[in-house]
Amino acid sequence: MEKLAAAFAATLGKYVSKEIVVFLISMVPILELRGGLIVSSLLQVPITTAIPLCIIGNIIPIPFILLFIRQIFKWMKKIRLFRGLIEKLEKRAMSKSDTIKQYEFWGLVLFVGIPLPGTGAWTGSLIAALLEVDFKKAVLAELLGIIIATVIMSIVSYGLLGTLLH
C-alpha cells in the first residue's frame, strides 16, 4: 500500500497542495485513511493537520455507498460489460462479511478499525449495504472504526515510520 500511496501522491502532488493530496488519498478505495496518513507523514504534513483531513476524506464516501451502492450495482449488472466485475466485487465483499454478520455493530467497527488489507470504510460500507445493516447503526460503527484506524495508523505513520524516515 505504501508504494501505491506514494505513487498516487507523486502524481497528484504535481497539481495540488500536499494537504489536498492527503485528503484525496483518504477518499480513494484501498488507500483510504491508512494511505492518507502514510502519505501525510512522507510529505511531512503535521499530524494535527493530517488527522482531520484523513478522517473527513474517509467519511465522505460512506453515506453514498450505504445509500446508493445496491441500486448502482443492480443497474450495472444489467450491462453485460459490468456484470462480471460487479458480481466479483459483491462476492469478494461478502467473503469478508462473516465477522460483520456474526457481530453486526462491533464486527463492523473492528472490520473498519483494524487496518488490514481489504478492510476499511469502503469495504465495510459495501458489506453493510449488501447485508442491509441499518443506516444509522452502520454509520456509527464505521465512525468508531475510523477513530480506531486513525489511532493505529497515526502511531504507525508518525511514530514508527516517522522515527525511521526522519
The string of pLDDT tens digits covering residues 90-107 is 998 888 888 788 888 999
Query: Pseudo-torsion of CA 52, 147, 88, 74, nearest 10°?
Result: -70
What's the rounded Cα separation, in Å, for the pair 56 and 58?
5
pLDDT at 166 over 50: no
The model's pTM is 0.85
What's the rounded Cα separation, in Å, for the pair 71 and 7?
33
With bands split at pLDDT 50, 70 and 90, how would you rate the model's confidence at 160?
A: low
Helix axes 32-42, 47-59, angle to 10 degrees: 160
| Residue extents of the structural domains in the chain | 2-59+150-165, 61-148
**Residue of 31 and 143 predicted with greater confidence:** 143
Over 24-38, what HEC string results?
HHHHCCCCHHHHHHH
Mean predicted confidence (pLDDT) in 22-32: 92
pLDDT at 26 over 80: yes
* Tens-place pLDDT, residues 28-86: 988 899 999 999 988 889 999 999 999 999 999 999 999 999 999 999 999 999 999 99
Three-class secondary structure of residue 30 per DSSP? coil
pLDDT of residue 161: 53
If you write DSSP's letter for every residue of 132-148 in order, what string do you get?
T--HHHHHHHHHHHHHH
Contact (CB, 8 A) for 56 and 113? no
Question: Residue 2 is placed in which grid cell?
Answer: 505504501
Residue 78 DSSP code: T
Burial class (CB in 10 A: 0-12, 13-18, 19+), 122: buried
Contact (CB, 8 A) for 21 and 50? no
